[in-house]
Amino acid sequence: MLNHREPHFCLTAETIATAYPHLATRIDIGDSWEKTAAGGNPGYVGGELGLAAYTFELGTAFFQSCSAFENTILPTNMPALLYAAKAARAPYMTPSGPEALDATVTPTGTRYGLVAQASAVIDDTRYSNRNGAEPVHSVVTAEYTIDVPPWDAMAAAHPMAADGSFDTPVEVVTAMLNVTGLNAGRHTLYVRGQDAAGNWGVVSAVFITVSEPAPWDFVVYLPMAMRE
């Protein structure tokens, strides 16, 4: 059982927390170095069950207004909540890797047989230094998969190119997508990056819609009738 007092847990707990740069008000991870309430649920889950657990405490006071929540608290913390959901599958590993941001496909809708362009930003610098420093590495590769997440054994990964070469902690990556072979309808494009330490970061995803080919996309040749 992984106990929250073991060095490995403390190290990864700090990595998880620093991956939410100045977003959540406070974070309770297990019963580790930063906590909102001693002996709470995260402490029990982490210490007794060996599972990653953390609690977000949002807002600045009790019983804040709905307008404060909708206009300030939720928008400010939504990126951290989404990141936590992305990292939940491998919470001790993916927070050490670069984050895939601003994934886009242009155009978002395309016809069967045509080409679209995917782009994203792979960033290995998105850590807070308020509770300790995290190492920053150069991004060394990026890839995308369609409809199957990259950690699935059935996923077909395709490389994405950087602007020149992979040599900085922040890279803009692109790829041309040939949608031939995709059924008509909405598909999910997953993007992720890896740093020089071998860490794969959390994915970002974007939809691409493939429509049926238009009737005039096909040329039909009819036999010529010959008459003497």
Better pLDDT: 155 or 56: 155
pLDDT attached to residue 22: 42
The domain ranges of the chain are 7-93, 97-211
pLDDT attached to residue 211: 84
Answer yes or no: are the C-beta atoms of 35 and 88 closer than 8 Å: no
pLDDT attached to residue 202: 94
Q: Which amino acid is at 35?
A: K
97-211 is classed CATH 3.40.50.720: no
Please write the tens of the pLDDT for every residue from 15-47: 655 665 444 444 444 444 344 444 566 666 667
Better pLDDT: 132 or 138: 138
The helix (run of H) or strand (run of E) holding residue 114 is none
CA count, 13 A, side-chain hemisphere, 204: 19
pLDDT at 173 over 80: yes
Prediction pTM value? 0.74
Q: How far apart are CA 132 and CA 228, in angstroms?
A: 92
Better pLDDT: 20 or 195: 195
Percent of the chain with pLDDT strictly greater than 90 = 38
